[in-house]
Amino acid sequence: MADLGIVQCIHGEQPGVSEDKAEQAFLPILSEIASDFPELRIVLEHISTRWGVFDVGVLPANVAGTITPHHLWLSREDVFHEVGSIKAPWLYCKPTPKSPLDRAALISAATSGNPKFFAGTDSAPHWPEFKALITPRPGNYCEPTALETYTQVFEMAGKLHRLGDFLSVFGAYFYGLPLNEVSITLNRTPRTVPTDYDGIVPSRARETIPWQVQT
């Protein structure tokens, strides 16, 4: 892959480990791959823990990581009951949202201006019948509100001036792609997210978001 210039994109969770520890358990493998193949560009997709943030930050420049809007917005208690059962199946995804400390680390990384961290939505819609199973299919349908959620998070952190690089520049540079010449405008106009889109529940259903994409 390195010889062909192909980026290795990794969903970094160790099989056979509980969901809340699976990413952390995988990180030694990530470090080993990065060390063994220093010319290979690696993306740890949809980082969900403070340990993932730390490892991507300290590993060499050939390692980067994406951060989703829902991991910046949700914590474990938004998805699970205290006993561990799922209370919001439409929010259930893998890797699962973690603790408020993990979310704070993700927000800090995303808004830091560090080019090793950039946007990746990992939007994954599923029909309601698959979300109604005892073990719902993992996937968060964040696409309808992704840009608005990123914008809201950056605004709350006082880092709106860094949003453009996180969304549009750092990822393109890491992949060696030209910057997009088309622009998107977001207006600070509140909108309430619908309950569903064609029957599929979005991650921020019924919430009012202070931003919306200009159409």
115: helix, coil or strand?
A: coil
Query: What is the distance between the alpha carbons of residues 106 and 85, in angstroms, rounded to a whole number?
Result: 24
Instruction: State the angle between helix axes of 100-110 and 50-58 in degrees (0 to 180), rounded to the nearest 10.
Output: 30
DSSP string, 190-208: -EEPPS-BTTBPPTTTT-E
Annotated catalytic residue, options 20, 55, 102, 122: 122
Residue 114 backbone dihedrals phi, psi, to 5 degrees: -75, 120
Domains of the chain with CATH codes: 8-183 (3.20.20.140)
122 catalytically annotated: yes
Rounded to two decimals, the pTM is 0.96
Give the pLDDT of the chain (215 residues) as one tens digit per residue: 988 899 999 999 999 999 999 999 999 999 999 999 999 999 999 999 999 999 999 999 999 999 999 999 999 999 999 888 999 999 999 999 999 999 999 999 999 999 999 999 999 999 999 999 988 999 999 999 999 999 999 999 999 999 999 999 999 999 999 999 999 999 999 999 999 999 999 999 999 999 999 98
